[in-house]
Structure 1
Amino acid sequence: MDSEKVAIEHVDGEDKIAKSTTSDVSKSKEDVVVAALPVVDPEAERKLLRKIDLALLPMFTLIYCLNFIDRTAIGNARIAGLERELGMQGYDLNIALTTFYVFYILSEVPSNLALKHWGSIWIAFLVIGFGVVAIGSAFMKTYQELLVTRVFLGITEGGTLSGLVYLLARFYRRHELIMRMGIFHGLSPCLAGAFGGLLASGLLSIPDFGIVTTWRKIFLIEGVLTTVVGLLLLFFIPGDPTTTRLFNEEERAMVIARLDADQTVKMGGKKERTSLRLIIQSCNLHTIVCSLAFMLANISFQGLSLFLPTVVNTLGHFTTVEVQLRSVPPYLLGALWAVGTAWVSFRMRQRWLPVLWSVAPMIVGYSIAVGTKNPAARYIACFLNVGCGAPVGPLLLTWTTDNSAPDTMRAVTTALVPGIGQIGSIIAVWTYVPKDAPNYYRGNSLNVAAACTNFFSITLLGFYLIRENKLRDQGKRDHRIVGKTAEQQHNLGYLHPEFRYQL
């Protein structure tokens, strides 16, 4: 007997959800598959997308802004006298920053597996965690206490970005992710960098209170704001799309139909059982190259982000507040570039080329920093390096998420890519060392090399994916599903012959 179903059809270049009245819907290379769910119309789908956007994007942007502000507050605190007051010298700050990133990396994959098990409430606990650590940082009296706070900050912040990306992938289709990633991941560091500089300059201008003086005010106020947001998230962060109270039953069915449209084997919104085999399967060529590219991008972007106030301070004779204010404009450009690039990438349904045209200006910017001592030219280079480099990380992470299936692999790769990527942040910590001031020739030279290597590797990856998609179009990967059950076919994920890599 025929049953009514929802099909996502490829019509005139657009994906639409339509009714099917046959028990067996044909699956061609262009048409997308079917879930036994109520019919929805395009207008209802647009309303659903707006509802999801309004519920998730402002919240996720705020979370990652706070994450980035609390992480980079140490750069503003340094200018305000943190090193002097804690008796630090030489490479002490670099060691403290390295400590943070080591524990950040170690916590990523375990945190995402915990998120998959416990649900989105895990994110709220993480935010409360790094907010409390920031508050504690305001009361540090020794360098050893700074190291302890960086350990706990790394543990609590480590799973935040990967967790937010994983949650987004549970609500949006593959081609929709980039615009949302561009908003929350591309925009957040830039807004945080700009707002963090403005907030730090404002806090340093207000009177001290009690033992909370100078740089301590930065940690305390930012930590309190973060903790309050984390407590609110306990009540307001949406759960899994199959259970959240955000949707009524009709909307829930629509969400599941949309997610199933991107799957080679339909699961009706259910998650497969986590297994070691699926975790190992996550380490494919695309994931490895994107992870290494993320690492190279972080060498070029994170180092300057952490030390931007220090670098700006070498360009002239400025007061502490003036240095903080001059670090804001490059981040504002980054915000515009990140959102603009995400929009173009979304319209083109392309990740490959937008990554390349964002990396290219960084090559130019760091080449300027290496080739001249002119303060004005070096300040312009900061705009190219920070501003144009802002969307590279979000693009790479979205690209990997687009090409990750099934759900367990998505949970692993959204943690693995930024996790390996943060190795670049550890390297970046050592690109701007005190003895290289004021020109930082070695650090800037390393960043030129990292950006060039990134451009070359991403170019090769794009050509590989084009070739692999052509082989699947020609049926040369069809042998992978011969004799396999529906569950086994689902667990093939990106290896399934009907899966097409997003370029």
Structure 2
Amino acid sequence: MTSSRAGPTGTTSSPFGSGSSSDEFLYTPASDRSEEDGPSSRAARPTAGALRVQTDFSNEDDRLGSSDDDIDDGYDSYDDDIRPSSSRDSQDLRKYTPREEQQVVKRFDRKLVPFLALLYLLSFLDRSNIGNAKIAGLEEDLQLSSSQYEWLLTAFYITYILFEWMTLMYRLVPPHIYIALCVLGWGLVASFQSLASSFGALVFLRATLGVTEAAFGPGVPFYLSLFYKREELAFRNGLFISAAPLASSFASSLAWVIVRFSSEGPIAPWRTLFLVEGFPSVIVAVFAWLWIPDSPGTARFLDPRQRMIAQLRMEDISSSAKGHRTSSRRRDGSFNWVEVRKTLADPKSYITAFMFFSCNVAFSSMPVFLPTIIADMGYTSLQSQALSAPPYLLAFLTVLLTAYYSDRHRTRSPFLIAHALLSATAYLTLALTGHYHASIAKPLQTTIRYLSLYPAIAGFFSAITLIITWSMDNRDAQEGKGASVALLNLIGQCGPLLGTRLYPASQGPWYVKGMGVCAGCMVLVAGLAGLLRGMLKTENRRRGKQGMNKGGDVEEEAFELERRGGGEESEVLIFGEARRRGRFRSRGDGGVLDEGYIL
């Protein structure tokens, strides 16, 4: 066979059904939403034979090093009448090497995840900068009481909870449209906060901000699960969620600059802060529309072959002992409500959601109260803005390291339990220092309290990352993952209703009660994580025993699938290394389940 581009052989994967006829293996190249194809471009399209991929890949390195400009236009558009001429050709089209797959993953790491992290940074910045605005004059100018300030925080989370169902919109609306509209929405609302002249106007804007951010943030981990395998997901979620502590650090630093240079200006510093930190989202929304892919096969920053590989690698790889492909995705592409009901009936979903609830008590309260807590230690408003940044920088690095090693070791619970207990210990130290402050020297009090903020913040940010990832790790269907995230947030985001009321002015400057509640919640996170680990471990053993009873030897099944090739060949090749290391488990129906549930 001949081709204008070489493509290496190796691992195969099939998104198609079982069977061996060539008609079953139609590969339809993904569109990149280009409108440039006119009659002339149609005439220039290659024939079916030109789409066949060469199987002699002596120039693999040259092809791998090609740029996005070196593209065979024959892959760029849909054409139902282009099919491989034989079953062998269809297998060649689906073959790719681990190196090619790694290149696709790296491209997503460089092009997609950082952009999503930027969007989350902007959203978290607009959500939490009210804490900086408070000590920059907001409370005095609008004559807010402590109770009214708490309602400003609570109003955001009330609508945030009520609109958690919008996570499922990622499955129903093209993401490049949906995400761009969300970014535009919260950018406008956050900017309008600078115009508020009363408590009523500001509480309305905060509630609207909750709607726009609920539509975006909670669904992004689900969106990322469309591009990454479960063993790759924690680190990418970590990269995304680490934007939250980075945003908090950036907000504190920016607030310090704004307060310092606009205190004598015509606009109140807190109004300038809302405007400067809110309006950039409006501009970025345009880039979100142009850059966000709707699926792995439509990413414009991938070349055509990489789009094919990106799509194939994410297809369901589970199969039964007879080689019949099992997939929770409907062939007609319709929404699978069965998977949603299955997720809602699973007790494990609720354990994860209550973990998220407990962790959110700390996650939602500290970013908006930290400047006030530090100011109550005896620092000025300007000093408090500056001292709020370093704990978040440590949290940013900790989240990335935790997510990386969690993926590398393919486990969540040990890291989650360790961080939850670390954060609980730090909160308990803060509570005890406040309770026994009379017997502790003032400089020592301040040192202990400030240093304890570092592990407390790093702990709950890392725990949040792992909880969100763990909730989707053991769901195969897109609808199941989406429902899991929706349930996680529906229950978990009730935590801020408690967290935003933990630090009233009447409890200052020690906030013993609030610190004690956060410590207890983080202990509960650790306990629930241990319970869920035990349940998953038991289920893995049960399914392993059932698989061995029904299917016999997993090695024989894997080699049989490899011998057949066709639709199930990818399962053996992709997980060949795991099989050689003896890391396969048996599934209950006799099929192969890669390592069972992630613990």
| Residue number among 420, 428, 441 corresponding to 1:359 in the alignment | 420
The normalised TM-score by structure 2 is 0.73
Deviations 1:184-214 (A, max 9, x none): 11x1111101101001111112236986321
Q: CA deviation at 1:115?
A: 2.1
Q: CA deviation at 1:261?
A: 4.8
| Residue number among 371, 392, 404 corresponding to 1:343 in the alignment | 404
**Aligned pairs for 1:26-65 within 5 A:** 38-65=94-121
Partner of 1:196: 251
**Aligned pairs for 1:280-359 within 5 A:** 280-283=341-344, 284-316=346-378, 318-359=379-420
Cα distance in 2 between the residues matched to 1:132 and 1:41: 46
Structure 1 residues 139 and 162: CA distance shift in structure 2, 3 A = same
The normalised TM-score by structure 1 is 0.86
Partner of 1:5: none
Q: CA deviation at 1:83?
A: 1.4
Partner of 2:457: 386
Q: Does 1:206 align with 2:261?
A: yes
Q: CA deviation at 1:271?
A: 7.9
Q: Matched residue of 2:493: which SS?
A: helix
Letter in 1 for 2:493: Q
Partner of 1:115: 170
| Residue number among 151, 159, 164 corresponding to 2:220 in the alignment | 164
Conserved 8 A contact 2:337-2:479: no
| Residue number among 495, 499, 505 corresponding to 1:424 in the alignment | 495
Q: CA deviation at 1:477?
A: 11
- The unaligned stretches of length 5 or more in structure 1 are 1-15, 25-34, 480-493
Partner of 1:279: 340
Conserved 8 A contact 1:350-1:502: yes
Cα distance in 2 between the residues matched to 1:268 and 1:87: 55
Q: Matched residue of 2:11: which SS?
A: strand
**Aligned pairs for 1:102-251 within 5 A:** 102-109=158-165, 111-120=166-175, 121-185=177-241, 187-207=242-262, 212-251=267-306
Cα distance in 2 between the residues matched to 1:330 and 1:161: 23
Q: Does 1:252 align with 2:307?
A: yes
| Residue number among 2, 11, 23 corresponding to 1:17 in the alignment | 11
Deviates more, 1:400-409 or 1:208-217: 208-217
| Residue number among 534, 537, 558 corresponding to 1:463 in the alignment | 534
Deviations 1:24-64 (A, max 9, x none): 8xxxxxxxxxx965100111111111111111111011011
Deviates more, 1:413-422 or 1:134-143: 413-422
- The unaligned stretches of length 5 or more in structure 2 are 1-9, 21-89, 320-325, 438-444, 551-586
Q: CA deviation at 1:276?
A: 4.2
- Amino-acid identity (%): 27
Letter in 2 for 1:455: A
Cα distance in 1 between the residues matched to 2:330 and 2:296: 8
Structure 1 residues 229 and 361: CA distance shift in structure 2, 3 A = same
Partner of 1:438: 509
Q: CA deviation at 1:289?
A: 0.8
Cα distance in 2 between the residues matched to 1:267 and 1:285: 20
Q: CA deviation at 1:497?
A: 7.5
Conserved 8 A contact 2:291-2:300: no
Cα distance in 2 between the residues matched to 1:495 and 1:130: 46
Q: Does 1:78 align with 2:134?
A: yes
Conserved 8 A contact 1:257-1:268: no
Cα distance in 2 between the residues matched to 1:279 and 1:18: 30
| Residue number among 401, 409, 419 corresponding to 2:480 in the alignment | 409
Letter in 1 for 2:466: L
Q: Matched residue of 1:260: which SS?
A: coil
Letter in 1 for 2:390: P
Q: Matched residue of 2:296: which SS?
A: coil
Letter in 2 for 1:129: G
Matched length: 461
Deviations 1:337-367 (A, max 9, x none): 1111111101101111110111111111011
Conserved 8 A contact 1:337-1:387: yes
Q: Matched residue of 2:146: which SS?
A: coil
Cα distance in 1 between the residues matched to 2:588 and 2:485: 18
Q: Matched residue of 2:314: which SS?
A: helix
